[in-house]
Structures are given as C-alpha cells and as structure tokens.
C-alpha cells in the first residue's frame, strides 16, 4: 500500500503521463461525459435562445434532482448485484404519508421522520426478502411495487393529498415544508438541487472512501469471494436497499413540498425507468460490481438534458418515453459489447 501511495504522490513524468491519460480516456465516465457535452452543443445550436441560458440550466438541475437523489441509492443497489423496481411506489407512499400527517396537525420534523422511516422500512423489507428470503430482487421489488402503491391508495382512499392551511396544516409547518420544496438557497439555487448535491457528496464519500463502499463492490463482484473474506453479504445488501428506500422517501417528500398536492394513483408512476436508465447509462453493470457516483451523476444529466431538449424541440411526450427506452437499450448494449471486447 505504501508503494502505491508513493507512486501516486510522485509527479507525472515520462511513461506515467501517457499511461494515466490512456486510463482516463478509456474510462466509461469519459465516454458518457463526451456524449453529454455533444448533446449540449447540439441543443445549444438547435435552440440558441432557450437552451444555453443560466435559468434553463438551473431548471435542469432542479428537474434532475429528484431522479438524481434516487439514482445515488440505486447505484449502491445495482453495484451490489441487485435491482429495485419499487422506488416509484415507495416515493409515493412516503411522500403522501408525510403530507397526510401534516394535514393531521403534525409539526414538520416528526412528519418528515415518519415519511423517511416508511421509505426505509420498505427498503428493509425488500432487502430482507431478497437475501434471507432467497427471493430474486427483481421479483421481490416487483411485488413491493404493487404493495406500496396499494398501501398509498388505501391510506389516501384514492383521493388527492393537498398540503394547505385549510386542510389542517399548521402555518409554520406549511412555510417550512414549502421552503424545502420551493425555496432557493441565496435566492438562486433551488433547494431540491441543494439536497441533490448533499446526497451526491455523501454517496461519493460512502462508496469511495469507506469500508462499506468496498464491501458493496466486493459483494457485487463475487458474493462467494466476499463471504470467504468474512463479509456479511446479506447485511451489506440489506443496507443498500434501506438506503434506496430512504432516498426514495426523501425524493417523494421533496416533490410533495414542491407541488403541495399529490395522488397515490399517479405520483411516481414509471419513475423507476428514469432512475435505472441514469445509473446504467452512467456505466453501472447490471451484473454488479461496477459503477461509480460520478458515472451516475453524468447519467442523470444525460437523461435530464435529453428530456429538456426534447421539450424545447417540441417533441411529443410519447416519443420522449420511446427515446428514453432506446437510450437504455443502447447503453446496455454498448456496455455488453465493451465488456466482451475487454475479456477477449
């Protein structure tokens, strides 16, 4: 380890510089970054009066924040070799539960804690059934997608949840709730984007700078080898799912704080598509063991800029969904082809 540190600390000279440059250019994140830059250039040329404006970039930042927050959690789940299809329903259940508690006269912090706790509980159930229950996470979370959606419908009786004073919300709690969803830091940066940045930093530290992050990669790369090394595979995966549920709940709360109204039958529908797409486009392998927070951020912005550009180009919403699906297929295809070439 000491030798590795000393090498990294030495100035880049001679052979080291081309070698490091080759590593950077061959990294999957580099290709995603180049694709993002090219996409921005094309949209700036196509819509010079709309796309390359500071306000539009802030709008993109706000729009991708909720998907981005969940994508950070999904990065941990996918790297560990699992998948979570229930995030859209968890997003709705946690957010609407928080809204209901506020309309019952609860203050903000207890209502937030309850909503985040519900999201974490859903994640724990997913993780427990996928590990100790020996069920494939695809099946577990597919079932939980319906269970959580049904629970949200039962709680709300299928009616909209509106967070307003006339519905019983305390005035102070309402103002605080509105600020976390609609407020702006320093009067410029949307609070949703602030939460996204905080989650990104914490996710980066956890995945790249802690023992837990090492265990996530080890478990996803080879569960048998991880067990032989003394890693408790089931516990690591459960924590990944709990994190996913927590972040889904956080995003659901933030969207309700922004809109101040939501309906269980519509909130979060199909959201898992964008989240999984962002992580896969960012370079995470569905087989586990590969991925990064940086790649996920780039994938999130690829999806966000693509959606923003399609709107600016007046493309039909139906085509938008189709194009996002094609992007997923293309990204997975490129990943598979690149992986196959590396193993030859």
CA–CA separation, 140 and 167 (whole Å): 36
CATH code, domain with 124? 1.10.3470
Q: What is the DSSP string of 69-125?
A: HHHHHHHHHHHTT-----HHHHHHHHHHHHHHHHHTT--HHHHHHHHHHHHHHHHHH
Helix (H) or strand (E) holding 203: helix 191-209
CA–CA separation, 12 and 7 (whole Å): 9
pLDDT of residue 275: 93
In a domain, 14, yes or no: no
Count Cβ atoms within 10 A of the Cβ of residue 128 and give its class: 0-12 exposed, 13-18 middle, 19 or more buried: middle
Average confidence (pLDDT) over 149-178: 94
Average confidence (pLDDT) over 283-309: 90
Q: How many distinct structural domains can be found in the chain?
A: 1
Residue range of the domain that includes 225: 49-329
In a domain, 23, yes or no: no
Helix (H) or strand (E) holding 336: helix 317-342
In a domain, 148, yes or no: yes
CA–CA separation, 253 and 68 (whole Å): 14
Does residue 342 surpass a pLDDT of 70? Answer: no
CA–CA separation, 115 and 48 (whole Å): 42
pTM: 0.88
Helix (H) or strand (E) holding 190: strand 189-190
Other beta carbons less than 10 A from residue 99's beta carbon: 28
DSSP code, position 176: H
Length in residues, the chain:
344
Max Cα distance, the chain (Å): 71
In a domain, 243, yes or no: yes
Does residue 1 surpass a pLDDT of 70? Answer: no
Q: How confident is the model at residue 7 (pLDDT cuts 50, 70, 90)?
A: very low
In a domain, 106, yes or no: yes
Does residue 25 surpass a pLDDT of 60? Answer: no
In a domain, 18, yes or no: no
In a domain, 8, yes or no: no
Kindly report, residue by residue over 178-227, the tens digit of the pLDDT.
999 999 988 889 999 999 999 999 999 999 999 999 999 999 999 999 99
Q: How confident is the model at residue 78 (pLDDT cuts 50, 70, 90)?
A: very high
Does residue 230 surpass a pLDDT of 80? Answer: yes
Kindly report, residue by residue over 30-68, the tens digit of the pLDDT.
878 888 888 899 889 988 888 888 888 888 889 899 999
Other beta carbons less than 10 A from residue 217's beta carbon: 18
In a domain, 239, yes or no: yes
pLDDT of residue 336: 67
Q: Produce one character per residue of 101-121: b if its CB has 16 or more CB atoms within 10 Å, e if not.
A: bbbeebebeebbebbbebbbb
Q: What is the chain's percent helix, strand, coil content, to nearest 5? A: 75, 0, 20
Does residue 164 surpass a pLDDT of 90? Answer: yes
Q: What are phi and psi of 187, to 5 degrees?
A: 75, 10
């Amino acid at each position: 380890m000491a030798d590795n540190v000393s090498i990294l600390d030495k100035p880049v000279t001679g052979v080291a510089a081309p070698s490091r440059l080759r590593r950077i250019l061959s990294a999957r994140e580099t290709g995603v970054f180049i694709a993002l830059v090219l996409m921005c250039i094309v949209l700036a040329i196509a819509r010079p009066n709309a796309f390359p404006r500071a306000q539009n970039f802030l709008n993109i930042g706000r729009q991708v924040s909720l998907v981005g927050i969940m994508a950070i959690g999904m990065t941990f789940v996918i790297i560990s070799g699992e998948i979570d299809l229930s995030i859209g329903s968890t997003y709705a259940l946690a957010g609407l539960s928080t809204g209901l508690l506020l309309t019952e006269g609860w203050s903000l912090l207890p209502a937030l804690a309850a909503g985040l706790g519900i999201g974490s509980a859903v994640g724990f159930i997913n993780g427990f059934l996928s590990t100790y229950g020996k069920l494939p996470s695809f099946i577990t979370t597919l079932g939980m997608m319906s269970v959580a959606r049904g629970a949200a419908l039962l709680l709300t009786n299928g009616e909209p949840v509106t967070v307003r004073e006339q519905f019983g919300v305390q005035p102070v709690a309402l103002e605080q709730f509105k600020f976390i969803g609609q407020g702006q830091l320093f009067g410029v940066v949307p609070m949703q984007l602030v939460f996204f940045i905080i989650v990104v930093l914490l996710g980066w530290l956890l995945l790249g700078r802690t023992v837990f992050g090492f265990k996530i990669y080890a478990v996803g790369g080879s569960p048998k080898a991880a067990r032989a090394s003394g890693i408790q595979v089931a516990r690591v995966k459960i924590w990944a799912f709990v994190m996913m549920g927590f972040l889904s709940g956080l995003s659901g709360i933030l969207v309700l704080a922004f809109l101040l109204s939501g309906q269980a039958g519509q909130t979060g529908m199909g959201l898992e598509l964008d989240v999984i797409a962002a992580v896969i486009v960012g370079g995470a392998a569905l087989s586990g063991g590969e991925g990064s927070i940086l790649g996920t951020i780039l994938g999130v912005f690829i999806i966000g800029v693509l959606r923003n550009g399609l709107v600016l180009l007046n493309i039909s919403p139906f085509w938008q969904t189709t194009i996002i699906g094609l992007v997923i297929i293309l990204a997975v295809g490129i990943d598979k082809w690149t992986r196959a070439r590396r193993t030859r």
